[in-house]
Amino acid sequence: MVVRRRNAPRPHRFSESPLLQLALPSWRSRMAGLVLLGLFAVLVGRAFYLQVVNNEFLQDQGESRYLRDLEVSASRGKILDRHGDLLAISTPMQSIWAIPVDAGKLEPMQVKQLAQLLEMDVKELNRRLASDRNFVYLQRQVPPETAARIAALKLPGIHQSKEFRRFYPAGEMVAHIVGFTGVDDKGLEGVELAFQSDLMGRAGRRSVIRDRRGQIVEDVGGMKPPQDGKDIRLALDSKLQYIAFSAIKEAVAEHQARAAGAVVLDAKTGEILALANWPSYNPNNRASLKGPQLRNRAVTDSFEPGSTLKPFTAALALERGKFRFDSMIDCAPGRITIGTATISDAHPHGLLSVAQVIQKSSNVGTVKMASTFSPREMWEMFDALGFGTPPALGFPGEVGGRLRPWKNWRPIEQATMSYGHGISVSLIQLARAYLVFARDGDLIPLSLLTVAEPLPRGIQIFSPETAREIRTMLEMAAGPGGTAPLAQVPGYRVGGKTGTAHKLEGGVYARKYVASFVGIAPMSDPRFVVAVMVDEPSAGKYYGGTVAGPVFSRIAGGVLRTMGIAPDAPSVQVAADSRKEGVL
């Protein structure tokens, strides 16, 4: 039994400890309460702002986790020739892509199977699947049958989407005029690039909900359907294109030339019926493509046209009344000196009429006609013909050639330009300029597309009488006694002018040549202008009459027969003794 003493001190409870009896000022407790209340009010206000006043932010953040706008591809428009034959068409393909974080669950055997179907190296496939990105393409434009086999594997993280691949049925024959598209179906060359905005169309939109694996759960909202691109119908005639392409390809092989080009124009409408270059390429398979193969030489390359410009000098002489068709010019002794330079004829001549100057391709006679003009008169004629200005067809890399301002011309430069030296043009420019002779002296624009009625009206460069007289001279040049008897077409009257020019390399004329011929057919009612250029023939022949003339004959003959043009002359057998090596 415990006995407590009566006078012993009473023990304190813990809650009654003196240490806990320290009193705080009343204002501090109120301040703490107000701060806590204020913070609570801020939180309530922020919640109200986000959920009521500005709830779009949270809504957008939520939707960004699951809502996707998918692009629905539009089919690129077709490219057709004038008869509706397909030159370019889009075929449906599949792109194979992956979400790397999900595809990381693939087993080694599955990766190997996928690599085999995609024809990829396993290491390269593993490298792409190890990417830290949310999305990675494995391969674009996969054929549908291959894509179906990949889908059958049901591989996690591997997905597909529809796209299109461009196919070119005519292959290398029309490669330079049609061009091609890139992997994203955008035009990179030729008509594909020139008419990109019309061909591409507009992609549609589709809103969907996706889970974290990328699988579509459901469609939400409305769908904006795609607008397919417009079809483009070219003025090109596939049959005539084949004739021109085959002819220049054979010419390059026969003369061991560097390259060649040909253009066929409709003299009535200005339509480009054929435009061919060699070397060419297959736009369906560009794996081993080299730079020179891509060049649309008829449009992007300029060269000195040589004697093909002499008819324009003669036309100006007739138009200004300085000379007549039968005016005589003394070309003896076959050379003329201007300053310190001497200009010579390949074959000396004596007295020649203006018509014979063109028929025999006399440099001396042409220079004497040009000497009666002011530099400004010649420049204005060349400028009106389109020389020095790109043809504005829309092709990438179009050149305007070289036509120096007339104020800077020296007498020797005016003399050489009269017969096609010291000036440069593209083949398409030269072909267009000859339209003034095929027509009644007026020049019309060229067109890649078919031309509907009414036919275009041109700018009058020469009078109809001058154009008719020059046509007679061109027919003489392509006939017996002219520089291009090998350009004749049996059964048809044709005319044209040869050109043989040295090439400039580093500002110096090299022993390399460009052989050319521009002609008109048939002469009784001109329908077509055919221009041919052969670059650096090296098999022993290099004159325009012996190299380019026969190519013109083959192309013009094929065009006339294919188009059903009735013969306008008896069949002509070219005499063996007219096959001269010394023609210009």
> Which residues are designated catalytic?
307
Residue 415 near residue 370 (C-beta atoms within 8 A)? yes
Q: Which two tokens stand for residue 229?
A: 């691109």
In terms of Cβ atoms closer than 10 Å to its own Cβ (0-12, 13-18, 19+), residue 396 is middle
Indicate the SS3 state at residue 332: coil
User: Length of the chain in residues, anyone?
Assistant: 584
Give how far Cα 113 sits from Cα of 5, 109, 149, 152, Å: 97, 6, 10, 12
Residue 283 near residue 171 (C-beta atoms within 8 A)? yes
Q: Which of 428, 204, 219 is nearest to 303 (CA)?
A: 428
Residue 90 near residue 75 (C-beta atoms within 8 A)? yes
Q: Are strands 232-233 and 79-80 parallel, antiparallel or unpaired?
A: parallel
Q: Which of 119, 118, 114, 214 is nearest to 157 (CA)?
A: 214
* DSSP states along 158-199: EEEEEEEEEE-TTGGGGHHHH--B-TTS-B-SHHHHHTHHHH
Question: How far is it, in rounded angstroms, from Cα 432 to Cα 382?
Answer: 12
* DSSP states along 354-406: HHHHHHHT-HHHHHHHHTTS-HHHHHHHHHHTTTTS---SS-TT----B---G
* Tokens 């909202």, located at residue: 221
